Structure 1
Amino acid sequence: MSVEILKSIRQTELEAEQIVKQSVADARQILADAESMAASILEKAEEEALEQSRSIISMAEKEAQAEVEKIMMQAEKECKNIKKQAEKNLDAAVELIIGRIIKIHGNS
């Protein structure tokens, strides 16, 4: 009977060793899967961050372009106003110059 008990104990020990080996293998696989998943999540986060930065840059460029167009329109408007003012003063300037020329040549 004691041989039977020893065999049973040995069998139980072997089964326990097998369970430990399987547990270690499972733990390693879980760790490898977790590392792979972490790398995948990190890669996805980087891609999303890159896409978001592209979107922000694109939006900023559109806003900047709109501001440039607004400034250009304002500058064009101011140029037209200056030109109109200059055209109004042109007749008076021509008459002033002609008057001075006539005065200078009239006294000769």
Structure 2
Amino acid sequence: MALEVIKEITNAENRAEELVREANKKSKEIIDSAIKIGEEEYKKVLIRSKQEAEIIINYATEKATKEIEAISIKGNNELNGIKEGLEEEKKYSAVRLIIERIVGIHGNS
């Protein structure tokens, strides 16, 4: 009888050790799974953040490009206006010079 009790205690101890090993194994699997899920979610957040940053950069670049183009067009228009004004001034000066010479020639005679 004492021998049977010792066997049962030994079997119970062995079973308890086996259950602890299984529990440790399951714990490790759960932890590994949680880490993997965490890493996957982290990667998703990084990808999403990168995509959002790219959208913001693209928007800012597009807006800046449009503003630069608008400034360039305005500058070109102003430059063209100045050129036209100078051309008109040249014509006016040439006509005035001709008139002054004509008047000078007739005035001196």
TM superposition score normalised by structure 2? 0.78
Q: 1:52 is matched with which residue?
A: 52
User: In the TM superposition, what are the counterparts of 1:22-33 in structure 2 within 5 Å?
Assistant: 22-33=22-33
In the TM superposition, residue 5 of structure 1 has moved relative to its aligned partner by 1.5
The alignment-based identity, stated in percent, is 24
Aligned residue number for residue 75 of structure 1: 75
Q: State yes or no: 1:2 paired with 2:6.
A: no
Q: Which runs of 4+ in 1 moved over 2 A?
A: 83-92, 99-104
Aligned residues: 106
Alpha-carbon distance in 1 for matches of 2:101, 2:57: 62
Q: Distance in 2 between matches of 1:91 and 1:60?
A: 46
Structure 2, unmatched stretches of 5+, are: none
Equivalent-residue separation in structure 2 for 1:84 and 1:23 (angstroms) = 90
Cα deviations across residues 16-44 of structure 1 (Å, max 9, x unaligned)?
A: 10111001101111121122112212221
1:54 Cα deviation from its structure 2 partner: 1.4
Task: Structure 1: state its 5+ residue gaps.
Answer: none
SS in 1 for 2:9: helix
What is the distance in 2 between the residues matched to 1:38 and 1:15? Answer: 34
